[in-house]
Amino acid sequence: MAKVLIIGAGGVGNVVARKCAQVSEVFSEIILASRTQFKCDRVAAAIDKPITTAQVDADDVGQMVALINKHNPDLVLNVALPYQDLPIMDACLETGVDYLDTANYEPIDEAKFEYRWQWDYRDSFEDAGIMALLGSGFDPGVTNVFCAYAQKHYFDEIHHIDIVDCNAGDHGHPFATNFNPEINIREITQKGKYWQDGQWIEIDPMSVSMDIDFPEVGIRKGYLLYHEEEESLVQNITGLKRIRFWMTFGAAYINHLQVLQNVGMTRIDPVEFEGKQIVPLQFLKAVLPDPGSLGTNYTGKTCIGCIFNGVKDGQQKNMMIYNVCDHAEAFKETGAQAVSYTTGVPAMIGAKMMLTGQWKKPGVWNMEQFDPDPFMQALNQHGLGWKILEGKTLKQ
Ligand SMILES: NC(=O)c1ccc[n+]([C@@H]2O[C@H](COP(=O)([O-])OP(=O)(O)OC[C@H]3O[C@@H](n4cnc5c(N)ncnc54)[C@H](OP(=O)(O)O)[C@@H]3O)[C@@H](O)[C@H]2O)c1
């Protein structure tokens, strides 16, 4: 029986609140706070368990500390934006409360994400006797757990990992992003990179692509991007020689993105407009569809997983672990499309692991550093069943 404080009432926050409410034997009290109070109230009104709502600017450590002290939660579950990670971690330190998020910190004025800023809290969290679990979404999150599970049960050494992320759904809009547009577009338009033989190799944005055959979805073009879970996995997976991350995009999405880039709408530096400073990408976010509203009439599926190559008992081995999630089914259950769903469910499961003591250790941790078995079991139990495909390689 525990009290959870969820920060952020967007697409993912809605799913987290609903999934926590389904598991009332663990989450006996839920508080949902965000920058805009009515968004919290809207989520709470759609859930048949009582949810307390609050307004907070999570960039302000003082406001966060006051909110935590008022409600005295056992865990703060951060599904606001990556910019808020550090102020929320500071507030958790000040109040002695555990912390969980789904995306690593990014400075607002530079599209660059790395764990360094959050890993710097390792000693202070450990000294305070509190825990932070980083990246408990799908990717990062479930993909890290898939890697830990493959390492524990299927390989002596994993040599190559390709994380493959496909959204083969159709939301019916000419252009929309499936999670926060600002964060999504910053991720895609920065340089890509992958890790091979001990070093990072940088590539121009979206300059490397490949047709990938996704189980239950079919062949889609995947683009090589940098993704944050690669940074911790290179440290925690035995014998790794290469790790890459691929995400699929349709031709219409790429065309829209190119035009938006060409006209300067994806810039993150402020420009002067009618006497005011505005950031073009933030303005673009204001006119694009809200990811949380995309679920209605969304058809098709997501397929996200990891393709492994390595050695077991002296033999070469290839396999894939993956999940397929149906947009319409996710919508029916939570009023959200599959991208919010596949992020919100693992966030709830990560919190459940911590609050039930199955994953509990003072310090700052990435997902693959814990026993994957209870998390894998919980995925099956809470709506994200997974499968194993023996012999699967990236090329076939
Ligand atoms: N690991 C994964 O697999 C994965 C996948 C997708 C997304 N994510 C992460 O999940 C998080 C949420 O994504 P989303 O799609 O739900 O985004 P979203 O729909 O834009 O929701 C973000 C929410 O955070 C709130 N917020 C923003 N700044 C705040 C502040 N200073 N104080 C308090 N609340 C604030 C927003 O409030 P307003 O509405 O008032 O602006 C909004 O309700 C993001 O960090 C994203 O990167 C992770």
3-state secondary structure of 370: coil
Residue 395's pLDDT band, with cuts at 50, 70 and 90, is confident
CB 41 within 8 A of CB 13: no
pLDDT digits (tens, 9 = 90+) for 301-331: 999 999 999 999 999 999 999 999 999 999 9
pLDDT digits (tens, 9 = 90+) for 59-84: 999 999 999 999 999 999 999 999 99
For residue 188, the model assigns a pLDDT of 86
Closest atom, ligand 1, to C-alpha of 60: 31
For residue 36, the model assigns a pLDDT of 97
Q: What is the pLDDT averaged over residues 235-239?
A: 94
**13 touches ligand 1 (CB under 6 Å):** yes
Residue 240, pLDDT above cutoff 80: yes
Q: What is the pLDDT averaged over residues 124-136?
A: 98
Closest atom, ligand 1, to C-alpha of 138: 3
**9 touches ligand 1 (CB under 6 Å):** yes
For residue 113, the model assigns a pLDDT of 82
Domains in the chain: ranges and CATH: 2-134 (3.40.50.720), 142-335 (3.30.360.10)
Residue 16, pLDDT above cutoff 80: yes
Closest atom, ligand 1, to C-alpha of 178: 15
Buried b (16+ CB within 10 A) or exposed e, 355-385: beeebeeebbbbbbbbebebbbebbeebbbe
| Cα(342)–Cα(346) distance, integer angstroms | 7
For residue 109, the model assigns a pLDDT of 83
For residue 175, the model assigns a pLDDT of 92
For residue 340, the model assigns a pLDDT of 95
**181 touches ligand 1 (CB under 6 Å):** no
Q: What is the pLDDT averaged over residues 364-373?
A: 98
Distance from the alpha carbon of residue 80 to the mean position of ligand 1, in angstroms: 4
Mutate to test the pocket of ligand 1, among 12, 67, 165 (most ligand atoms within 8 A of CB): 12
Closest atom, ligand 1, to C-alpha of 59: 31
From the list 284, 344, 299, the residue with the least C-alpha distance to 167 is: 299
**177 touches ligand 1 (CB under 6 Å):** no
Residue 135's pLDDT band, with cuts at 50, 70 and 90, is very high
The whole-model pTM stands at 0.95
Residue 356's pLDDT band, with cuts at 50, 70 and 90, is very high
Distance from the alpha carbon of residue 102 to the mean position of ligand 1, in angstroms: 10
Residue whose tokens read 């002596």 = 156
Q: What is the pLDDT averaged over residues 12-37?
A: 98
For residue 322, the model assigns a pLDDT of 98
The closest residue, in CA terms, to atom 21 on ligand 1 is: 10
| Cα(12)–Cα(183) distance, integer angstroms | 13
For residue 154, the model assigns a pLDDT of 98
Distance from the alpha carbon of residue 183 to the mean position of ligand 1, in angstroms: 9
Tokens of 275: 């006497």
**291 touches ligand 1 (CB under 6 Å):** yes
Whether residue 372 has a cis bond before it, omega within 30° of 0: no
**346 touches ligand 1 (CB under 6 Å):** no
Residue 23, pLDDT above cutoff 90: yes
**56 touches ligand 1 (CB under 6 Å):** yes
Residue 178, pLDDT above cutoff 90: no
Distance from the alpha carbon of residue 156 to the mean position of ligand 1, in angstroms: 38
CB 206 within 8 A of CB 125: no
For residue 347, the model assigns a pLDDT of 98
For residue 378, the model assigns a pLDDT of 98
Residue 363's pLDDT band, with cuts at 50, 70 and 90, is very high
Distance from the alpha carbon of residue 309 to the mean position of ligand 1, in angstroms: 34
3-state secondary structure of 303: strand
Mutate to test the pocket of ligand 1, among 34, 59, 83, 227 (most ligand atoms within 8 A of CB): 34
The closest residue, in CA terms, to atom 42 on ligand 1 is: 10
Distance from the alpha carbon of residue 88 to the mean position of ligand 1, in angstroms: 13
Distance from the alpha carbon of residue 182 to the mean position of ligand 1, in angstroms: 10
From the list 295, 309, 183, the residue with the least C-alpha distance to 243 is: 309
Closest atom, ligand 1, to C-alpha of 142: 3
Indicate the helix (H) or strand (E) that contains 6.
strand 2-7
Residue 293, pLDDT above cutoff 90: no
pLDDT digits (tens, 9 = 90+) for 83-122: 999 999 999 999 999 999 999 999 888 878 899 999 999 9
Indicate the helix (H) or strand (E) that contains 148.
helix 142-153
**79 touches ligand 1 (CB under 6 Å):** yes
**137 touches ligand 1 (CB under 6 Å):** yes
Distance from the alpha carbon of residue 13 to the mean position of ligand 1, in angstroms: 7
Distance from the alpha carbon of residue 159 to the mean position of ligand 1, in angstroms: 34
Query: Which are the contacts of 135, defined by CB distance < 8 A and separation ≥ 6?
Result: 101, 102, 103, 104, 141, 144, 228, 229, 232, 366, 367
